[in-house]
Structure 1
Amino acid sequence: MPRNDANTPFVLTLDNSDSAIRVGLANVRHYLESCDVEDDLCGPVEVVLAEALNNIVEHAFGPGMLGTIRLEIMPGIDSVICEIHDNGAPLPDNALPPGIPPAVDVPRAELPEGGFGWYIIRRLTTDLHYARLDNENRLSFKVRGERF
Protein backbone atom coordinates (compact mmCIF):
# COMPACT_ATOMS: atom_id res chain seq x y z
CA MET A 1 0.00 0.00 0.00
CA PRO A 2 1.49 3.41 -0.90
CA ARG A 3 2.40 5.65 1.99
CA ASN A 4 0.21 8.73 2.40
CA ASP A 5 1.72 12.12 3.08
CA ALA A 6 1.76 12.28 6.86
CA ASN A 7 2.52 16.02 6.71
CA THR A 8 -1.02 16.76 5.57
CA PRO A 9 -3.85 16.27 8.07
CA PHE A 10 -6.49 13.72 7.24
CA VAL A 11 -9.84 15.52 7.41
CA LEU A 12 -13.11 13.65 7.63
CA THR A 13 -16.63 15.03 8.03
CA LEU A 14 -19.32 12.77 9.50
CA ASP A 15 -22.94 13.08 10.46
CA ASN A 16 -23.91 12.34 14.04
CA SER A 17 -25.02 8.74 13.56
CA ASP A 18 -23.66 5.47 14.91
CA SER A 19 -23.20 4.11 11.39
CA ALA A 20 -21.24 7.19 10.27
CA ILE A 21 -18.97 6.84 13.31
CA ARG A 22 -18.26 3.18 12.48
CA VAL A 23 -17.38 4.05 8.88
CA GLY A 24 -15.32 7.04 10.03
CA LEU A 25 -13.28 4.92 12.45
CA ALA A 26 -12.56 2.41 9.69
CA ASN A 27 -11.45 5.25 7.40
CA VAL A 28 -9.15 6.65 10.10
CA ARG A 29 -7.60 3.21 10.65
CA HIS A 30 -7.03 2.78 6.91
CA TYR A 31 -5.43 6.22 6.72
CA LEU A 32 -3.12 5.59 9.70
CA GLU A 33 -2.04 2.26 8.25
CA SER A 34 -1.32 3.94 4.91
CA CYS A 35 0.96 6.35 6.82
CA ASP A 36 2.82 3.37 8.34
CA VAL A 37 1.56 4.11 11.85
CA GLU A 38 2.25 1.04 13.99
CA ASP A 39 -0.61 -1.10 15.35
CA ASP A 40 0.36 -0.32 18.95
CA LEU A 41 -0.46 3.31 18.21
CA CYS A 42 -3.42 2.77 15.84
CA GLY A 43 -5.32 0.79 18.49
CA PRO A 44 -5.27 3.46 21.22
CA VAL A 45 -6.13 6.17 18.66
CA GLU A 46 -9.16 4.14 17.60
CA VAL A 47 -10.25 3.56 21.20
CA VAL A 48 -10.01 7.25 22.11
CA LEU A 49 -11.77 8.37 18.94
CA ALA A 50 -14.53 5.78 19.44
CA GLU A 51 -15.12 6.94 23.02
CA ALA A 52 -15.09 10.64 22.11
CA LEU A 53 -17.25 10.26 18.98
CA ASN A 54 -19.79 8.03 20.71
CA ASN A 55 -20.04 10.59 23.53
CA ILE A 56 -20.69 13.30 20.96
CA VAL A 57 -23.44 11.29 19.25
CA GLU A 58 -25.02 10.28 22.56
CA HIS A 59 -24.73 13.49 24.57
CA ALA A 60 -24.02 16.50 22.33
CA PHE A 61 -26.94 15.84 20.03
CA GLY A 62 -30.50 15.18 21.13
CA PRO A 63 -32.70 12.49 19.60
CA GLY A 64 -33.42 13.31 15.97
CA MET A 65 -31.09 16.32 16.03
CA LEU A 66 -28.93 16.57 12.90
CA GLY A 67 -25.32 17.52 13.31
CA THR A 68 -21.86 17.46 11.86
CA ILE A 69 -18.62 16.14 13.28
CA ARG A 70 -15.27 16.96 11.70
CA LEU A 71 -12.08 15.03 12.45
CA GLU A 72 -8.55 16.18 11.74
CA ILE A 73 -5.87 13.53 12.19
CA MET A 74 -2.14 14.25 11.98
CA PRO A 75 0.26 11.34 12.48
CA GLY A 76 3.78 12.02 13.70
CA ILE A 77 6.82 9.85 14.31
CA ASP A 78 5.63 8.41 17.63
CA SER A 79 2.24 10.03 18.14
CA VAL A 80 -1.02 11.00 16.48
CA ILE A 81 -2.63 14.38 17.02
CA CYS A 82 -6.41 14.49 16.75
CA GLU A 83 -8.89 17.33 16.72
CA ILE A 84 -12.65 16.87 16.77
CA HIS A 85 -15.13 19.65 16.00
CA ASP A 86 -18.89 19.30 16.39
CA ASN A 87 -21.88 21.62 16.42
CA GLY A 88 -23.71 19.86 19.25
CA ALA A 89 -24.43 21.02 22.78
CA PRO A 90 -21.43 22.06 24.89
CA LEU A 91 -19.95 19.90 27.61
CA PRO A 92 -21.47 20.61 31.04
CA ASP A 93 -19.85 23.69 32.58
CA ASN A 94 -17.86 24.05 29.33
CA ALA A 95 -15.22 21.78 30.86
CA LEU A 96 -13.84 18.30 30.38
CA PRO A 97 -15.31 15.70 32.74
CA PRO A 98 -12.86 14.56 35.44
CA GLY A 99 -12.60 11.02 34.12
CA ILE A 100 -13.06 9.25 37.45
CA PRO A 101 -14.08 5.66 36.77
CA PRO A 102 -17.18 4.26 38.46
CA ALA A 103 -16.72 1.88 41.37
CA VAL A 104 -16.18 -1.73 40.37
CA ASP A 105 -15.82 -3.12 43.88
CA VAL A 106 -19.55 -3.77 44.05
CA PRO A 107 -21.63 -6.93 43.72
CA ARG A 108 -21.68 -8.28 40.19
CA ALA A 109 -25.34 -7.35 39.66
CA GLU A 110 -24.46 -3.71 40.45
CA LEU A 111 -21.49 -3.38 38.10
CA PRO A 112 -21.84 -0.30 35.89
CA GLU A 113 -22.38 -0.70 32.15
CA GLY A 114 -20.78 2.62 31.32
CA GLY A 115 -19.05 5.62 32.78
CA PHE A 116 -15.51 4.64 31.78
CA GLY A 117 -15.22 6.77 28.62
CA TRP A 118 -13.54 9.89 29.97
CA TYR A 119 -11.31 7.79 32.21
CA ILE A 120 -10.11 5.87 29.15
CA ILE A 121 -9.67 9.06 27.12
CA ARG A 122 -7.63 10.69 29.88
CA ARG A 123 -5.45 7.58 30.37
CA LEU A 124 -4.59 7.19 26.68
CA THR A 125 -3.99 10.84 25.74
CA THR A 126 -1.76 13.78 26.48
CA ASP A 127 -2.36 17.45 25.68
CA LEU A 128 -6.12 16.99 26.11
CA HIS A 129 -7.99 20.27 25.56
CA TYR A 130 -11.61 21.31 25.15
CA ALA A 131 -13.02 24.65 24.05
CA ARG A 132 -16.39 25.96 23.01
CA LEU A 133 -15.87 28.53 20.23
CA ASP A 134 -18.40 30.00 17.82
CA ASN A 135 -21.13 27.49 18.80
CA GLU A 136 -18.74 24.63 18.16
CA ASN A 137 -17.11 22.09 20.47
CA ARG A 138 -13.41 21.54 19.87
CA LEU A 139 -11.62 18.63 21.46
CA SER A 140 -7.94 18.06 20.77
CA PHE A 141 -5.47 15.52 22.08
CA LYS A 142 -2.35 13.55 21.32
CA VAL A 143 -1.96 9.80 21.54
CA ARG A 144 1.62 8.58 21.93
CA GLY A 145 2.98 5.14 21.13
CA GLU A 146 4.15 2.74 23.83
CA ARG A 147 2.01 4.26 26.62
CA PHE A 148 1.19 0.86 28.13
Structure 2
Amino acid sequence: MLKDKLVFNSYKTKKYYGKQTVDIKNSPLKKILNDWIKIQDGDYLFTDTKGNYLSPTKLTFRLYSLFKEKGKKISTSMLRHIFITDKVLPNIPKLTELEKQARDMGHSLEEQMKYKKFDTPGAEEPIQKPKRGRKKVEKN
Protein backbone atom coordinates (compact mmCIF):
# COMPACT_ATOMS: atom_id res chain seq x y z
CA MET A 1 0.00 0.00 0.00
CA LEU A 2 1.01 3.54 -0.71
CA LYS A 3 1.95 5.83 2.16
CA ASP A 4 0.86 9.46 2.36
CA LYS A 5 3.65 10.86 0.18
CA LEU A 6 5.24 10.29 -3.19
CA VAL A 7 9.00 10.77 -3.36
CA PHE A 8 10.68 11.66 -6.64
CA ASN A 9 14.44 11.47 -6.73
CA SER A 10 15.24 10.86 -10.38
CA TYR A 11 14.16 13.51 -12.85
CA LYS A 12 15.80 15.87 -15.30
CA THR A 13 16.09 18.84 -12.90
CA LYS A 14 17.39 16.91 -9.87
CA LYS A 15 20.68 18.82 -9.89
CA TYR A 16 18.61 21.87 -8.87
CA TYR A 17 15.86 20.31 -6.79
CA GLY A 18 17.26 17.07 -5.35
CA LYS A 19 14.60 14.82 -3.83
CA GLN A 20 11.02 16.04 -4.17
CA THR A 21 8.17 14.91 -1.90
CA VAL A 22 4.49 15.34 -2.78
CA ASP A 23 1.82 14.94 -0.09
CA ILE A 24 -1.11 12.81 -1.30
CA LYS A 25 -2.70 11.98 2.07
CA ASN A 26 -6.07 13.57 1.23
CA SER A 27 -5.81 13.30 -2.55
CA PRO A 28 -7.98 11.12 -4.81
CA LEU A 29 -4.68 10.18 -6.46
CA LYS A 30 -3.81 8.01 -3.44
CA LYS A 31 -6.77 5.68 -4.02
CA ILE A 32 -6.15 5.52 -7.76
CA LEU A 33 -2.49 4.60 -7.25
CA ASN A 34 -3.33 2.01 -4.57
CA ASP A 35 -5.88 0.38 -6.89
CA TRP A 36 -3.29 0.36 -9.69
CA ILE A 37 -0.60 -1.16 -7.45
CA LYS A 38 -2.96 -4.03 -6.57
CA ILE A 39 -3.30 -5.09 -10.21
CA GLN A 40 0.22 -4.19 -11.36
CA ASP A 41 2.67 -7.11 -11.65
CA GLY A 42 6.00 -5.30 -11.98
CA ASP A 43 8.05 -3.06 -9.73
CA TYR A 44 7.40 0.06 -11.78
CA LEU A 45 4.43 2.42 -11.77
CA PHE A 46 4.50 2.89 -15.55
CA THR A 47 5.27 -0.27 -17.53
CA ASP A 48 4.98 -1.67 -21.02
CA THR A 49 2.63 -4.57 -21.76
CA LYS A 50 5.21 -7.04 -20.41
CA GLY A 51 5.67 -5.24 -17.06
CA ASN A 52 9.04 -3.74 -18.00
CA TYR A 53 10.16 -0.18 -17.25
CA LEU A 54 8.47 2.36 -19.50
CA SER A 55 10.92 5.06 -20.59
CA PRO A 56 9.83 8.72 -20.57
CA THR A 57 9.83 8.69 -24.38
CA LYS A 58 7.57 5.64 -24.54
CA LEU A 59 5.30 7.08 -21.84
CA THR A 60 4.98 10.30 -23.84
CA PHE A 61 4.13 8.31 -26.98
CA ARG A 62 1.58 6.17 -25.09
CA LEU A 63 -0.19 9.23 -23.63
CA TYR A 64 -0.23 10.91 -27.04
CA SER A 65 -1.71 7.75 -28.60
CA LEU A 66 -4.43 7.49 -25.94
CA PHE A 67 -5.53 11.09 -26.52
CA LYS A 68 -5.33 10.63 -30.29
CA GLU A 69 -7.85 7.76 -30.04
CA LYS A 70 -10.27 10.30 -28.55
CA GLY A 71 -9.60 12.78 -31.35
CA LYS A 72 -7.40 15.04 -29.21
CA LYS A 73 -3.88 16.23 -29.95
CA ILE A 74 -2.48 16.44 -26.42
CA SER A 75 1.17 15.99 -25.53
CA THR A 76 2.88 15.80 -22.14
CA SER A 77 3.95 19.43 -22.59
CA MET A 78 0.33 20.42 -23.14
CA LEU A 79 -0.66 18.49 -19.99
CA ARG A 80 1.83 20.64 -18.06
CA HIS A 81 0.27 23.79 -19.57
CA ILE A 82 -3.24 22.58 -18.69
CA PHE A 83 -2.25 21.67 -15.14
CA ILE A 84 -0.53 24.98 -14.47
CA THR A 85 -3.31 27.04 -16.05
CA ASP A 86 -6.09 25.20 -14.21
CA LYS A 87 -4.25 25.33 -10.90
CA VAL A 88 -3.54 29.05 -11.13
CA LEU A 89 -6.83 30.30 -12.60
CA PRO A 90 -9.38 31.74 -11.95
CA ASN A 91 -7.53 33.73 -9.29
CA ILE A 92 -3.93 34.67 -9.84
CA PRO A 93 -2.22 33.61 -6.60
CA LYS A 94 0.36 35.45 -4.57
CA LEU A 95 3.96 35.10 -5.68
CA THR A 96 4.70 32.64 -2.87
CA GLU A 97 1.95 30.34 -4.20
CA LEU A 98 3.41 30.59 -7.72
CA GLU A 99 6.81 29.67 -6.30
CA LYS A 100 5.31 26.66 -4.50
CA GLN A 101 3.58 25.50 -7.68
CA ALA A 102 6.84 25.86 -9.62
CA ARG A 103 8.61 23.78 -6.98
CA ASP A 104 5.78 21.18 -7.14
CA MET A 105 6.30 20.92 -10.91
CA GLY A 106 10.07 20.61 -10.46
CA HIS A 107 11.22 23.80 -12.11
CA SER A 108 12.00 27.44 -11.44
CA LEU A 109 9.46 30.26 -11.22
CA GLU A 110 10.78 31.58 -14.55
CA GLU A 111 10.12 28.21 -16.21
CA GLN A 112 6.67 28.10 -14.55
CA MET A 113 5.75 31.43 -16.11
CA LYS A 114 6.64 30.11 -19.58
CA TYR A 115 3.92 27.48 -19.17
CA LYS A 116 1.36 29.74 -17.48
CA LYS A 117 -1.34 31.30 -19.61
CA PHE A 118 -2.96 34.37 -18.12
CA ASP A 119 -6.57 34.72 -19.22
CA THR A 120 -8.81 37.41 -17.82
CA PRO A 121 -12.38 36.18 -17.32
CA GLY A 122 -14.79 38.43 -19.19
CA ALA A 123 -12.18 39.92 -21.50
CA GLU A 124 -13.45 40.20 -25.04
CA GLU A 125 -10.11 39.68 -26.75
CA PRO A 126 -6.78 38.34 -25.54
CA ILE A 127 -3.91 40.76 -25.18
CA GLN A 128 -1.93 40.89 -28.40
CA LYS A 129 1.83 41.31 -28.62
CA PRO A 130 2.79 44.49 -30.45
CA LYS A 131 3.67 43.88 -34.08
CA ARG A 132 7.27 44.44 -34.98
CA GLY A 133 8.43 46.45 -37.93
CA ARG A 134 7.58 49.78 -39.40
CA LYS A 135 4.25 51.45 -39.05
CA LYS A 136 2.56 52.14 -42.34
CA VAL A 137 2.12 55.87 -42.79
CA GLU A 138 -0.83 56.92 -44.88
CA LYS A 139 -0.33 59.81 -47.29
CA ASN A 140 -3.00 62.49 -47.58
TM bucket normalised to smaller = under 0.3
Larger Rg: 2
TM-score after normalising by structure 2: 0.26
**Higher strand fraction: Structure 1 or Structure 2?**
1
**Higher helix fraction: Structure 1 or Structure 2?**
2
TM-score after normalising by structure 1: 0.25
